[in-house]
Structure 1
Amino acid sequence: MEKVDRLSPDLPFNGPLETGIRAVLNLYACFPKALDIQRLTALDYLIVRTSVLDGPPDLHPATPIVSPITQVRRKSVHAALRLMISRELVQQVATESGIFYRAGESSKFFVDALQSSYIRQLMNRASWLAKYSDQLDDQEFDKQMDQLLENWVSEFQDESGAAGSV
């Protein structure tokens, strides 16, 4: 029997399954468009924090320290994509521009089977995000994410510019 690692209590919504569900919902909402890991990482954050884009109210409650899109989140999204690819819920697409991801053949059945209120709220936000981000080309989207990240970083810096003084 396989050993199951304990999940960190600090990451109740960021395990591979939870992150993978958000990825499938985001990709399903954007179908047939394929997205790269950078866009998926941003959408993983934004799907529960849509208010930062003047969208629907945040799905998760505010926390004292808002963690911006980081390498940690990117690694979590990457692990989640591997899990969802293994279940044919996500398809990996290699192009001249890089590696992209698209909703897999089984994603419609998966999304339709998810019926909880929380999942419906996630799907509504994924649909809103797909429409919102579809209006922006990659450069405009990246510029907006850079501005959000700059705001998050400056929130936690003291007057000398050193981070971590809260």
Structure 2
Amino acid sequence: MNKNNFNSKRNINVFNTPLEIGLRALIILNELAHEAIDLNRLVIYDYFVIHSSDFDKSLKSLHPPIPHRSGELIIKRKVMQEGIHLMYSRELLDIEYTPKGIYYKANVITSAFINYLNTAYALDISKHSKLVIDKFNSYSDEELNLYINENLQKWGSEFTKESLVRGWFNE
């Protein structure tokens, strides 16, 4: 046994945790170049960053196209809030309280921190964030919500018919 191996019994699961989602939020906010956005828009942008083929079929999504993935827009809201608060507690983003609501934006520490995230996945998140921002940043909140409502049933529903066909062939 190698004495230099570090073994731990700690749970190191990171997938879909406040840490993972908070780091993605930082990258998205950093790409917005100090523009502030609210939680709703941040959750939507995060969804499109990881499921980019849902808004542009020519793009390859960063995460697999799981069935009923559109539910992530609702489920991840709480985890996104926790991730934002985790990043805020480390002074990696700013919170603005306005008459229209609570908004989040990158600060000078954000980009310095993001520069240390140089994995292929982090670079892909940055690239997809730019694409999402280019596509949706000109949408008003109402237009963005309308786009979501018009397409929500499509995202992940392609598996519904596939499962019916598989069930029919397996009988």
Could you tell me the TM-score, scaled by structure 2's length? 0.78
Q: Does 1:101 find its partner at 2:104?
A: yes
Q: Deviations over 1:2-50 (max 9, x none)?
A: xx9847x7xx521111101110011111122111111111112111101
CA contact (8 A) 1:16 1:77 kept: yes
Q: Which protein has greater RCO, CA pairs closer than 8 Å, 6+ apart? A: 2
Partner Cα distance (2:26, 2:137) in 1: 17
1:91 is aligned, of 77, 89, 94, to 94
Runs (5+) with no aligned partner, structure 2: 1-8, 162-171
Q: Deviations over 1:46-102 (max 9, x none)?
A: 111011111621011222442423442100100000000011111110000000100
Runs (5+) with no aligned partner, structure 1: 159-166
Identity of aligned residues (%): 30
Aligned residue in 1 for 2:78: 75
How does 1:120-159 map onto structure 2 within 5 Å? Answer: 120-152=123-155
2:44 is aligned, of 37, 42, 45, to 42
Aligned residue in 1 for 2:117: 114
Could you tell me the TM-score, scaled by structure 1's length? 0.80
How does 1:20-59 map onto structure 2 within 5 Å? Answer: 20-54=22-56, 56-59=59-62
Q: Larger Rg: 1 or 2?
A: 2
* Superposition deviation, residue 155 in structure 1: 6.1
* Pair 70,53 (structure 1): closer, same or farther in 2 beyond 3 Å: closer
